[in-house]
Amino acid sequence: MEFETHIQESTFHSPLADFEEVTETIEVRTDPLTGRTARIADGAFATPDDYDIDSVVSDAEGCFFCPGTVEEATPTYPEWMDVERGSWGEATSFPNLNPYAAHSNVVALTETHFQPMEAFTPRQFADGLNAALEFVHAAFDHDETAQYASVNMNFLKSAGSSIVHPHMQALVDDRGTNEGRRLAEAAADYRSREGSDYWQDLVDAERDGERWIGETGPVDWLAAFAPKHHRHVLGVVDREGVPSPDGAAVDGISEGLTHVLASYAEAGLNAFNVAIHLTADHQTPVVNVIARSVFDEYYWSDSPYFTVLHDEGVVTTAPEAYAADAHEQF
């Protein structure tokens, strides 16, 4: 497995050094699976020293995901789901009123309207994932054209969420997203070329190295060599196919997520995204977690032209540094 790094140097006369000539370095890394590149550059991720979001997150007035409303006012599933809404512990699932795919649901994750990311318990994530995976399995059973699925989470506005109340979203359809397709096709190519699973080979190559984070049951956690975004962590499930609700993979993912988020909180962050890529042809499930701009009154978008138009990861903290931070939480 190739972990390819290229150093670029940029020279200029700096006002911060009496206009002497200075040379800054930019590290460009290539993702071993897809060839996608990422840059490690100073100053790409500003974080405030302090923030106060209480006034924004405490207002539950009119929230459709709060208890009392979520089981009354949200849509109900079509017949093939067998239930009107899914229910696992605190989690309630229902169709997305604004669907993004042929099969598109929402999981209201908690009974509390808001809790900071470091307060999620493994049980809460497990119940949410159970509700999401129940839907994914049913959609794959119901629709034989469906090939791709993902379970996703935006947490707080700076991570793209319009709703404060913690929730996940599952998508299932016949074509997946650009990234879902890119990863699945690259992993299939790798398998036909190498005769083995890329993700398990990656885990073998990275285990106990400087990007290794830890393991939770059947899930191995590591920092992405070429991060797609800030503090990009991968969780690789060591068995193929869509995990069963209530199984060891769900418990491992849930416990690991709480540890990763604890390390983000320790770094002064408060917002994140998750995407778990799944396929009907039983590829290895992979969890992607990234940190987002700290959400406060005047939060700064961390999705500049690099992210939205170039699909180039540009991060400040090197994977080897945040892997060590996350490892402390495992």
Residues that bind Zn ion (CB under 5 A): 60, 63, 65-66, 113, 165
Question: H or E segment at 106?
Answer: strand 103-108
Q: How far is the CB of 112 from Zn ion (least distance, A)?
A: 8
Q: Are 123 and 250 in contact (CB under 8 A)?
A: no
Q: Closest approach of Cβ 165 to Zn ion, in Å?
A: 3
Q: Of 63 and 205, which CB lies nearer to Zn ion in the complex structure?
A: 63
Q: Is 80 helix (H, G, I), strand (E, B) or coil?
A: helix
Tell me the chain's radius of gyration from C-alpha atoms: 20
Bridge partners, residue 235, by sequence: 221, 287
Q: CA quadruple 140, 146, 150, 152: dihedral positive or negative? A: negative
Closest to Zn ion by CB, 63 or 102: 63
Q: How far is the CB of 65 from Zn ion (least distance, A)?
A: 5
Tokens read off for 37:
């590149």
Q: Which is nearer to Zn ion, 153 or 242 (CB)?
A: 153
Taking the least distance from each CB to Zn ion, the nearer of 39 and 165 is 165
- Closer to Zn ion by Cβ: residue 63 or 188: 63
In the bound complex, what is the minimum distance in angstroms from residue 30's beta carbon to Zn ion? 42
Closest of 98, 114, 97 to residue 63, by C-alpha:
114
Name the residue nearer to Zn ion (CB basis): 49 or 61. Answer: 61
Helical H segments across the chain, by residue range: 54-57, 70-73, 122-142, 178-194, 198-206, 248-266, 305, 319-327
Do the beta carbons of residue 110 and residue 131 sit within 8 Å? no
Closest approach, Cβ 66 to Zn ion, in A, equals: 3
Q: How far is the CB of 63 from Zn ion (least distance, A)?
A: 3
SS3 category, 26: strand
